[in-house]
Chain A
Amino acid sequence: MFSEGDLTAIWLTLKLATTVTILLLIIGTPIAWWLARTRSWLKGPVGAVVALPLVLPPTVLGFYLLVAMGPHGFIGQLTQQLGLGTLAFTFWGLVLASVFYSLPFVVQPIQNAMQALGDRPLEVAATLRAGPWDRFFTVVVPMAKPGFITATILGFAHTVGEFGVVLMIGGNIPGQTRVVSVQIYDHVEALEYAQAHVLAGSMVVFSFLVLLGLYGFQQKNPFTGFK
Chain B
Amino acid sequence: MAEEDNPAVGTIPINPEPRLHVQFRMCYTGSDPSTYALDIDLTLPGDGITAIFGQSGSGKTTLLRCVAGLERAQEGRLTVNGEDWQSDTLFLPTHQRSLGYVFQESSLFPHLTAQGNLNYAMKRSGVPSANVLFDQVIALMGIEPVLARYPHQLSGGERQRVAIARALLIQPRLLLMDEPLASLDTARKQEILPYLERLRSTFDMPILYVSHSLDEVTRLADHVVVLEQGRVVAQGRVDEVFSRIDVPLPVGNEAGVVWQGEVRERNEQWRLARIACAGGDLWVRDMGDAIGQRIRVRILARDVSLTLTCHEDSSILNRLPVNVLEIATDSDTAMALVRLQADNDFVTAQLTSRSVDYLKLVPGQRLWAQIKSVAILR
Residue positions of A touching B, CB distance < 8 A: 120-121, 123-131, 134-135, 138-139, 142-143, 145, 224-227
Beyond the given pairs A129-B95, A134-B95, 17 more chain A to chain B contacts, judged by CB atoms under 8 angstroms and listed by A's residue number, are A121-B107, A123-B94, A124-B101, A125-B109, A126-B70, A127-B68, A127-B70, A127-B99, A127-B100, A128-B120, A128-B121, A129-B96, A129-B121, A129-B125, A130-B95, A135-B95, A226-B107
Residues of chain A within 8 A (CB-CB) of B68 are 127
- Identify the closest chain A residue to B166 (Cβ): A128
3 tightest Cβ-Cβ pairs between the two chains A and B: A127-B101, A129-B124, A126-B94
Looking at chain B, what size class is its interface with the partner chain? 20 to 34
Complex CA gap A126/B95 in Å reads 5
Q: In the complex the two chains form, is A128's CB within 8 Å of B170's CB?
A: yes
Decide: A227 near B152, CB < 8 A? Known: A123-B70, A138-B120: yes
Q: In the complex the two chains form, is B110's CB within 8 Å of A226's CB?
A: yes
Decide: A129 near B170, CB < 8 A? Known: A124-B107, A139-B109, A224-B110: yes
- Identify the closest chain B residue to A131 (Cβ): B95
B64 CB → nearest A CB, Å: 11
Q: In the complex the two chains form, is B94's CB within 8 Å of A127's CB?
A: yes
Q: Which of B70, B109, B124, B125 contacts A143 (CB 8 A)?
A: B109
Complex CA gap A203/B132 in Å reads 60
Q: Which of A121, A126, A127, A134 contacts B109 (CB 8 A)?
A: A121
B58-89 interface bits toward A, Cβ cutoff 8 Å, 1 = contact, 0 = none: 00000000001110000000000000000000
Q: Which of B93, B106, B108, B167 contacts A126 (CB 8 A)?
A: B93
- Identify the closest chain B residue to A142 (Cβ): B111
- Identify the closest chain A residue to B122 (Cβ): A128
B46 at the interface (CB under 8 A from A): no
- Identify the closest chain A residue to B169 (Cβ): A128
B261 at the interface (CB under 8 A from A): no
B256 at the interface (CB under 8 A from A): no
Complex CA gap A135/B120 in Å reads 11
Q: In the complex the two chains form, is A124's CB within 8 Å of B151's CB?
A: no
B223 at the interface (CB under 8 A from A): no
A204 CB → nearest B CB, Å: 36
Complex CA gap A225/B110 in Å reads 8
- Write 13 A-B pairs (CB below 8 A) sorted by A numbering: A120-B107, A123-B101, A127-B94, A127-B170, A128-B121, A128-B170, A129-B125, A129-B126, A130-B95, A139-B109, A143-B109, A143-B111, A227-B106
Complex CA gap A130/B170 in Å reads 11
Complex CA gap A225/B109 in Å reads 10
Residues of chain A within 8 A (CB-CB) of B93 are 126
- Identify the closest chain A residue to B108 (Cβ): A227
- Identify the closest chain A residue to B96 (Cβ): A129
B103 at the interface (CB under 8 A from A): yes
A37 CB → nearest B CB, Å: 15
A116 CB → nearest B CB, Å: 12
B116 CB → nearest A CB, Å: 10
B120 CB → nearest A CB, Å: 6
Complex CA gap A66/B125 in Å reads 54
Specify which of A127, A129, A227 lies most central, judged by the most chain B CB atoms within 10 Å of its CB.
Answer: A127
Residues of chain B within 8 A (CB-CB) of A129 are 95-96, 121, 124-126, 170
Residues of chain B within 8 A (CB-CB) of A120 are 103, 107
- Identify the closest chain A residue to B152 (Cβ): A227
Residues of chain B within 8 A (CB-CB) of A225 are 110
Complex CA gap A131/B170 in Å reads 14
A136 CB → nearest B CB, Å: 12
B159 at the interface (CB under 8 A from A): yes
B159 CB → nearest A CB, Å: 7
Residues of chain B within 8 A (CB-CB) of A127 are 68, 70, 94-95, 99-101, 167, 170
A183 CB → nearest B CB, Å: 42
Complex CA gap A120/B70 in Å reads 10
Residues of chain A within 8 A (CB-CB) of B170 are 127-129
Complex CA gap A135/B109 in Å reads 12
Residues of chain B within 8 A (CB-CB) of A145 are 111
- Identify the closest chain B residue to A139 (Cβ): B109
Residues of chain A within 8 A (CB-CB) of B107 are 120-121, 124, 226
Complex CA gap A134/B96 in Å reads 13
Complex CA gap A32/B135 in Å reads 41
Q: In the complex the two chains form, is A128's CB within 8 Å of B106's CB?
A: no
Complex CA gap A219/B233 in Å reads 52
Complex CA gap A174/B274 in Å reads 98
B128 CB → nearest A CB, Å: 14
Complex CA gap A143/B111 in Å reads 7
Complex CA gap A226/B106 in Å reads 8
Residues of chain B within 8 A (CB-CB) of A121 are 107, 109
Decide: A124 near B109, CB < 8 A? Known: A129-B170, A227-B152: yes
Complex CA gap A110/B95 in Å reads 25
Complex CA gap A121/B95 in Å reads 13
Residues of chain B within 8 A (CB-CB) of A135 are 95
Complex CA gap A130/B167 in Å reads 13
- Identify the closest chain B residue to A120 (Cβ): B107
